[in-house]
Amino acid sequence: MELLEKRILNDGIVKEGNILKVDSFLNHQIDIGLMNEIGKELKRLFADKHVTKILTIEASGIAIASIAAQYFNVPVVFAKKAKSQNLDGELYTSDVKSFTYGKQYTITVSKKFITEDDKLLIIDDFLAVGNAMKGLIDVANQAGASVEGIAIMIEKGFQEGGKYLRDNGFNLQSLAIVDSMDNGQIIFRKQ
Amino acid sequence: MELLEKRILNDGIVKEGNILKVDSFLNHQIDIGLMNEIGKELKRLFADKHVTKILTIEASGIAIASIAAQYFNVPVVFAKKAKSQNLDGELYTSDVKSFTYGKQYTITVSKKFITEDDKLLIIDDFLAVGNAMKGLIDVANQAGASVEGIAIMIEKGFQEGGKYLRDNGFNLQSLAIVDSMDNGQIIFRKQ
């Protein structure tokens, strides 16, 4: 998606350790106009899918999932990263090793909100090694829901998450794929 | 807001310890249509304010802040609850004692995204003792930004957060105020 690639080139900051900071428009401050353009693009990409629910994970995925959900006219469910005393009852859980935070956590989704009748579009902001996404797919599988598509804002093409998902037959659409960030220069994969 | 009160009566679940679960439409599964009606109502309530940015806190505040931001045509900034290696540079920080989670945490906002020129609308899903809100106001004060208004989906009127904010002159608009939940019966304050 050209609009997103341009924004990444203009406002993204490459940091040591292959970190791409997009906190000025995507995951700390959020440009809602851009999110709407992304929402429209996701509807175009998944127009032939009968999505019943959008699944994402707190926190950065919630904004784009919520805006995009308007174009699909479906609810959003976000997986939680910590058990709270407010989230009881029957839960789907999956363990995720975080690349960004360098530690393990458990994601939880209430069984009430994903069922075998659901056709899910899973949305997240970043895809790198893919551990969070594997956790979300695991939750979908536990529920018996189908994964109609996976939408990622920024895929780090030099890490293995995207290849894993494509090799396993998922309909993965990454709006921008960064193939390298060597010396701070961002190279996008042609799509 | 009648629509929200009706939804709370229909789908909210009162649990022991004065917990009101609204996870079927507000803070785990999210009804985006309802969020849009809430967004329109917030624009009506704060129509005379020149809001430049909406400030919220992860995770539950992000969905409503993002949808509402469309009616104000401004960006969203969400305060983070944990330091990550991706969130470096100059930060505003404030310590918050969580009523829900029963522990203390630090909220952080990058200094890049709130400045003394900003006129903030602060949005959150719940207001109870008000500790998270005090943290967000502290961040706004550190930045020298003005707090034009505070919008809450559900205020627990039997806890002290709302009184504190009104006594201190804040323009607080709570779309539903629960005055009691004794024996599982939800009583709203007339507004």
pLDDT values of chain A reduced to their tens digit, one per residue, 191 residues? 999 999 999 999 999 988 999 999 999 999 999 999 999 999 999 999 999 999 999 999 999 999 999 999 999 999 998 655 455 569 999 999 876 667 888 999 999 999 999 999 999 999 999 999 999 999 999 999 999 999 999 999 999 999 999 999 999 999 999 999 999 999 999 99
Given a cut of 80, whether residue B88 has pLDDT beyond it is no
Query: Which helix (H) or strand (E) segment is A71 a member of?
Result: helix A60-72
Question: Do A30 and B69 make contact, defined as CB atoms within 8 angstroms?
Answer: yes
B56 contacts on A by Cβ (under 8 Å): none
The C-alpha of A52 sits at a distance from chain B's nearest C-alpha, in angstroms, of 12
> Are the C-beta atoms of A63 and A35 separated by less than 8 Å?
yes
Burial-class residue B98 by CB neighbours within 10 Å (0-12, 13-18, 19+). Answer: middle
Closest CA to A21 of B128, B70, B86: B86
> Are the C-beta atoms of A122 and A136 separated by less than 8 Å?
yes
The CA distances from residue A111 to A53, A96, B9, in Å, are 14, 19, 22
Encode pLDDT of A119-163 as tens digits: 999 999 999 999 999 999 999 999 999 999 999 999 999 999 999
**If DSSP codes are grouped into helix, strand and coil, which group holds residue B8?**
helix
The answer, for B69 touching chain A at a CB cutoff of 8 Å, is yes
DSSP code of B80? B
Give the residue on B whose Cα is nearest the Cα of A20. B86
Indicate the residue of B29, B58, B75 with minimum beta-carbon distance to A77: B29
B28 contacts on A by Cβ (under 8 Å): 77-78, 80, 87, 109-110, 113
- Structure pTM? 0.95
Encode pLDDT of B23-67 as tens digits: 999 999 999 999 999 999 999 999 999 999 999 999 999 999 999
The answer, for B85 touching chain A at a CB cutoff of 8 Å, is yes
The answer, for A108 touching chain B at a CB cutoff of 8 Å, is no
CA atoms in the 13 A half-sphere facing the CB of A75: 15
**If DSSP codes are grouped into helix, strand and coil, which group holds residue A46?**
coil
**If DSSP codes are grouped into helix, strand and coil, which group holds residue A8?**
helix
Burial-class residue A104 by CB neighbours within 10 Å (0-12, 13-18, 19+). Answer: exposed
Question: Do B29 and A58 make contact, defined as CB atoms within 8 angstroms?
Answer: no
Pairing of strands B187-188, B172-180: antiparallel
Give the residue on A whose Cα is nearest the Cα of B77. A29
The interface pTM score, or ipTM, of the predicted complex is 0.95
Between CA A159 and CA A178 the distance in angstroms is: 10
The answer, for B132 touching chain A at a CB cutoff of 8 Å, is no
Question: Residues A67, A69, A73, CA angle at the centre, nearest 5°?
Answer: 135
Give the residue on B whose Cα is nearest the Cα of A88. B21
Is it true that the peptide bond before A59 is cis, omega within 30 degrees of 0? yes
